[in-house]
């Protein structure tokens, strides 16, 4: 019953879930930005998947989407390309190579503030524009473990809960080192930090019952 409840809230693959609803609304905002740009358009999606774009029913002519992940996919359908890379170090990509850099809930998975700064700098270097989303640290329900106030607990307690309970997207991780690494991987951002990462961007705030759920940095 608990899993069913969590899925209705946070399962992005469930078209009736709250998470999918927010992603769809967010994507409409992205398409508004896209519609203002001349074609052809080259998009770089950091941490993206074909499934995400298909779930959003994206079907635009003269748009190429390059999916950059730590592991590339051998075969993807047009208009997608899959490449291997590190979002904190895009040294194989020239300045302003892409019309727009897109990323959905990735920048909080980089362990440290220094890595988040590196990713933000690379986004602004390789893209003419950007649309970067990440959850709000101060939203009361942690979006990965889908547990109230989880991000505020002491690290040892978060590791213990990860080892002993199946929570959100994370699931139960029995190995203590792996559980600790998973906890350390997620570093949620505050609005002040997001504005520091993207100082020239408009910071759009997604709201849930009046509380900021996540931030989107949209280049002017």
Residue 17 has pLDDT above 60, yes or no: no
Residue 18 has a pLDDT of 56
Residue 86 has a pLDDT of 97
Mean pLDDT of 2-6: 48
Mean pLDDT of 8-28: 65
Mean pLDDT of 184-190: 98
- At which residue do the structure tokens 């390059």 appear? 66
Residue 15 has pLDDT above 80, yes or no: no
Residue 108 has a pLDDT of 98
Mean pLDDT of 51-68: 95
Residue 173 has pLDDT above 90, yes or no: yes
Residue 12 has a pLDDT of 52
Structural domains of the chain sorted by starting position, each given as residue range(s) with its CATH number in brackets: 16-139+187-219 (3.40.50.150)
Per residue in 200-209, pLDDT (tens digit) is 999 999 999 9
Mean pLDDT of 180-197: 98
Between strands 211-219 and 127-135, the pairing is: antiparallel
Between strands 141-142 and 147-148, the pairing is: antiparallel
Residue 24 has a pLDDT of 87
Spell out the residues 6+ positions from residue 159 whose beta carbon is closer than 8 angstroms to its own: 176, 179, 180, 183
Q: Count Cβ atoms below 10 Å from residue 155 Cβ, excluding itself.
A: 10
């Amino acid at each position: 019953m608990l899993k069913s409840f969590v899925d209705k809230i946070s399962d992005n693959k469930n078209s009736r879930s709250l998470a999918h609803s927010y992603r769809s609304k967010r994507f409409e905002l992205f398409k508004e930005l896209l519609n203002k740009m001349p074609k052809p358009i080259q998009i770089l999606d950091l941490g993206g998947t074909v499934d995400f774009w298909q779930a959003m029913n994206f079907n635009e002519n003269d748009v190429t989407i390059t999916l950059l992940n730590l592991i590339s996919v051998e075969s993807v359908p047009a208009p997608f390309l899959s490449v291997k890379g590190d979002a904190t170090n895009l040294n194989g990509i020239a300045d302003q190579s892409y019309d727009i850099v897109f990323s959905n809930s990735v920048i909080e998975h980089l362990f440290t503030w220094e890595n988040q700064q590196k990713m933000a700098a690379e986004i602004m270097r390789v893209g003419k524009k950007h649309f970067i989303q990440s959850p709000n640290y101060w939203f009361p329900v942690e979006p990965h473990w889908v547990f109230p106030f989880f991000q505020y607990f002491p690290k040892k307690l978060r590791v213990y809960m990860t080892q002993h309970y199946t929570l959100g997207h994370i699931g139960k991780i029995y190995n203590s080192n792996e559980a600790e690494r998973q906890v350390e991987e997620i570093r949620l951002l505050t609005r002040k930090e997001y504005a520091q990462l993207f100082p020239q961007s408009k910071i759009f705030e997604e709201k849930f019952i009046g509380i900021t759920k996540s931030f989107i940095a949209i280049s002017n």
